[in-house]
Amino acid sequence: MSKTLFEKIAARELPAQIVYEDDRVIAFRDIKPVAPVHVLIVPKKPIPRISEAAPQDEALLSHLLSKAAEVAGTLGLNNSGYRLVINNGPDGGETVPHLHCHIIGGRHMGWPPG
């Protein structure tokens, strides 16, 4: 089976502006940002989408969200705020079948999202 785009970035087969990495997740700037700060944080384990996460992925999901908050802080978003987004499936806006969380900030976010 071929690697996802995000697996290729983690393996350094594709370039990316990496802002954080550990043994379980990698965070890098989105190539089509929707805000002044738009970073993706991705588990290195390929899980296609949140709806396909298994019970044994619970610790990884917790780590993903914890590190998303940490990365947002290092990007200076704690005072003004930010949005964390996980898309699931085509109607949810998913374009890459590899679970990832968008960290979006640096501007006011309207509600409801579009």
Annotation says 100 is catalytic: yes
Rounded CA-CA distance 28/96 in Å is 15
In the set 63, 100, 102, 108, the catalytic residue is: 100
Paired with 101 in beta bridges are 41
Rounded CA-CA distance 8/104 in Å is 23
Angle (CA) 28 69 111, round 5°: 90
Rounded CA-CA distance 50/76 in Å is 27
* CB neighbour class for 102 (10 Å; exposed up to 12, middle 13-18, buried from 19): buried
- Please list the active-site residues: 100
